[in-house]
């Protein structure tokens, strides 16, 4: 199972973008060629979609508060294959839907909590 921080997810979709150097290219009139300079490592926000299985409706309804408490925190992000990144910043998180499940798989996941995360590595 994949996870963000302490939360385990049945589904986690999206790709974390890695930092890369921004490069500024400077052209000068009347001069052959160009010059450039590296401006530093930067990454953009990554949008990650998650689905968490929860047994109890009241816990599912309060899950957004738990998620929002991670805003501004550095967390570990682990995918389904066990690959992970440490110190990923939670920029924002929004719970988008709670869905009742008729036949829970795995057992005791009567509700699915769907959320969208903005993370920066």
Cα of 88 vs its chain's centroid, Å? 8
Closest CA to 91 of 64, 118, 116: 118
Neighbouring CB atoms inside 10 A of 111's CB total 20
pLDDT in tens, 52-111: 999 989 999 999 999 999 999 999 999 989 888 999 999 999 999 999 888 776 677 889
pTM: 0.82
Cα separation, 3 vs 6, in Å, equals 7
State how many domains the chain has.
1
**Each residue of 8-50: pLDDT tens digit?**
999 999 988 888 998 999 988 888 889 999 988 888 899 999 9
Q: For residue 65, what is the domain's CATH number?
A: 2.40.30
For residue 111, what are its two tokens? 């509700």
Residue ranges making up the domain that contains 63: 2-120
């Amino acid at each position: 199972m994949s996870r963000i921080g302490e939360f385990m997810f049945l589904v986690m979709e999206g790709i974390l973008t890695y930092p890369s150097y921004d490069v500024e290219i400077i052209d000068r009139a009347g001069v052959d060629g160009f010059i450039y300079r590296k401006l530093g490592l930067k990454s953009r926000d990554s949008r990650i979609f998650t689905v968490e299985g929860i047994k109890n409706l009241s816990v599912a309804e309060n899950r957004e508060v738990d998620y929002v408490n991670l805003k501004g925190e550095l967390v570990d992000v682990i995918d389904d294959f066990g690959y992970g990144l440490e110190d990923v910043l939670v920029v924002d998180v929004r719970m988008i839907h709670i869905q009742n499940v008729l036949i829970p798989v795995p057992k005791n996941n009567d509700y699915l909590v769907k959320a969208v995360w903005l993370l920066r590595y």
